[in-house]
Chain A
Amino acid sequence: MMTDPLLEVRNLKVSFRTEDGTVQAVDGVSLTLAEGETLGIVGESGSGKSVTMMSVMRLITDPNARFEGEVLYKGRDLMALTQDQIRGIRGAGIAMIFQDPMTSLNPVYRVGWQITEQIRAHESISSQAARARAIDLLKSVGIPHASERVDDYPHQFSGGMRQRVMIAMALSCNPDIIIADEPTTALDVTIQAQILSLIRKLRDDFGTAVVLITHDMGVVAEMADRVAVMYAGRIVEQGSRRDVFYQPQHPYTWGLLGSIARLDRPKPERLATIPGLPPSLLNLASGCAFRARCAHRFERCLETPALLDRLGNGHLDACHLEPQAKKDARAEAAPPELVEDAP
């Protein structure tokens, strides 16, 4: 039924040794990304979503970091490659854009130079050809007067324009995958709409697969084909967009969806909250990481739940509750409109 996935992360674990103990930032994450697909990874700070994708690109330079697991890109395990080999993939096969375009672009070099630097790191073409391509890229991301702006410095652009520059740079070598780490969090909402619209257009034009990391469920609903919800370094729910939004299977997802102040529904008296705080990742105990804040915990939760396809339909979750118990609990916890049975 399916061709091999473009990217497959198998049981990735990332830990950091610190003075106070081991911080398990990513605790056994497995996910797949098909060609042309958009995967949304949702989580709050400390969920491990950024560390996961930074590890995929082997961008974590902390000498105290420890990695386990495999990351298969087109069949090759990225974790086993040499520095030189992974360098060849970065920016060419898999490209990344980051949250704050002001600090993510080098302030002392012109933007055209920064784009051509990337192109010439992977392809042997002349500097004129690279520059011409940079101008084309800037045009395709909607920067007006591209042939003049190519010689401007990052600080001469507005926030939204800078992010477009980053996107242009990421696309410069026609990557198979773009990882976007909170690309619009630092932007105003109307600029965010522009950038998301741009990403959609480019994705459709070039067929690039996108991993979109965000904490905003609305962005995920708008952009993703499939969604993975992360909490405390683990994926707690993963499935198609409609499955996760209309039939969420994990109490954390219910909490997340319930606590959003939404524009499309009548205003609740009080916002539903998830009591307590996210757990410390230091010396994390076994068992379900969410149980301290979960209203539905029971004895079995002391046993670490695996991310399994409990319903047999490709919708994975990591919660021990029986499917029927989940349905009942969800009906109580989440706003009633969220409970929608599959047709």
Chain B
Amino acid sequence: MLTFIVRRLLWAALVMFVISAFVFVLFFKTPGVDPARAIAGRNPSPQILGEIRHQFGLDKPFPVQYGLMMKDLFISRDLVSYSNQGVKVVPEIFAAAPATLSLVFGAAVIWVVMSIILGIAAALLRGTIVDPLLMILALIGISMPVFWAGEVANLITQSRFHDTFLFSWVPPLGYTAFTQSPVGWFTGLIIPWITLSILYIGLYARVLRANIIETEGEDYVRTARAKGLTERRVLLRHTLRGSMITYVSLFGLDFAALVAAGALLTEVVFAIHGVGLLFYQSLNNLDLPTIMAIVVYGAFFIVLASALVDIAYAWLDPRVRPT
């Protein structure tokens, strides 16, 4: 097991390096992108551009720039943003993280619970009208773009029906830290949670339903029934257990992607100042250091999650464990 873990971590480091280098090069090779010009503001003179280039080290060779940036990011951790002068990037990300984590965790709880309920219901009620109805609902959920759904939600809860008893409790857009006001934190996040989870409920309900139906046909489920177990036990201990392996693997990766600034659209629509929103802003401003930092942070999360998923998989399925 130890060699397995060490190997995964080494691969993780390699992946992170490759991703960060790739983003770095991409940034500079994108046509029309000149960070010096972006920093300088309107109509800069060539002299100012030259100064800026020198100040930010943009005139040095690429590998050196990359090396310097990585050093600032990891070692001295004083990487400075291009757009917000003097603001250190790493602390900025850490400050934004709680908002993202709150958003993603809450949504995850909702989507896991709901998708399991819907997935099991659809599988058990296969053959009745309920199954296709649930699957159509799921499909609608998957098809709704989250930024559209978010805006519609805002329309309903913030303006149109805001004054009714239904939505008067909804605070204005934005994130309130838990430490500041638990109630505010909660009420401010409910609508974003629901919006973000709709897509995933749909996706995971479908996946679970398909897995349950497939597992139902497995020989060991037949054996479980033949042993005289109750239907409930067969479902929970045998069928579901077999279906969850895929579910857990997918969940791990989706969750990690969301934490790694994947909830960008939701954060923008609901004005939640998380890592996603930060990323959005830095892309707009061509703020390379922030972009790089978030990319590395994101890559780290995804690689970590993928390693955890592998480990979880081995825990769930003894056949996969290295002997």
Contacts and interface: CB of A to CB of B under 8 A. Distances in A.
Interface of A: 57, 59, 61, 63, 83, 87-92, 95-96, 98, 100, 103-108, 117-118, 121-122, 153, 155, 166, 169
B319 A155 contact: yes
Contact of A89 (B228, B233, B242, B316): B228
B227 A105 contact: no
B115 to A, nearest CB: 21
Contact of B224 (A103, A106, A107, A108): A106
B229 A108 contact: no
Contact of A91 (B216, B226, B237, B319): B226
A90 B126 CA distance: 25
Interface in B234-271: 237-238, 241-242
A104 B231 contact: no
B222 A107 contact: no
Given A104-B223, A122-B228, 20 more contacts: A59-B222, A59-B225, A63-B126, A63-B127, A87-B229, A88-B228, A89-B228, A90-B228, A98-B219, A100-B219, A103-B220, A104-B219, A106-B220, A108-B241, A117-B227, A117-B229, A118-B229, A121-B233, A166-B223, A169-B227
Contacts of A106: 220, 223-224, 238, 241-242
B218 interface: yes
B211 to A, nearest CB: 14
Given A107-B317, A108-B317, A108-B318, A90 B219 contact: no
A90 B227 contact: yes
Which 10 pairs, one residue from A and one from B, show the smallest C-beta to C-beta distance?
A91-B228, A90-B228, A103-B219, A91-B227, A118-B227, A106-B220, A104-B219, A96-B226, A153-B318, A63-B127
Interface of B: 126-127, 216, 218-220, 222-231, 233, 237-238, 241-242, 316-319
Contacts of A122: 228
* Residue of A107, A153, A166 most packed against chain B (CB within 10 A): A107
Nearest to A103: B219
Contacts of A83: 231
Contact of A90 (B216, B226, B318): B226
16 contacts: A59-B225, A63-B126, A83-B231, A88-B228, A89-B228, A90-B226, A90-B227, A91-B227, A91-B228, A92-B228, A100-B219, A106-B220, A106-B224, A107-B318, A117-B229, A121-B233
Contacts of A117: 227, 229, 237
* Residue of B233, B316, B318 most packed against chain A (CB within 10 A): B318
A180 B319 CA distance: 27
B222 A87 contact: no
A170 to B, nearest CB: 9
Contacts of B242: 106, 108
A169 B227 CA distance: 8
Nearest to B218: A103
Contacts of A118: 227-229
A165 to B, nearest CB: 11
A149 B241 CA distance: 23
A59 B231 CA distance: 12
A118 B230 CA distance: 11
A75 B317 CA distance: 43
A108 B223 CA distance: 14
Given A88-B228, A90-B227, A104 B319 contact: no
Contacts of A89: 228
Nearest to B225: A59
Contacts of B229: 87, 91, 117-118, 121
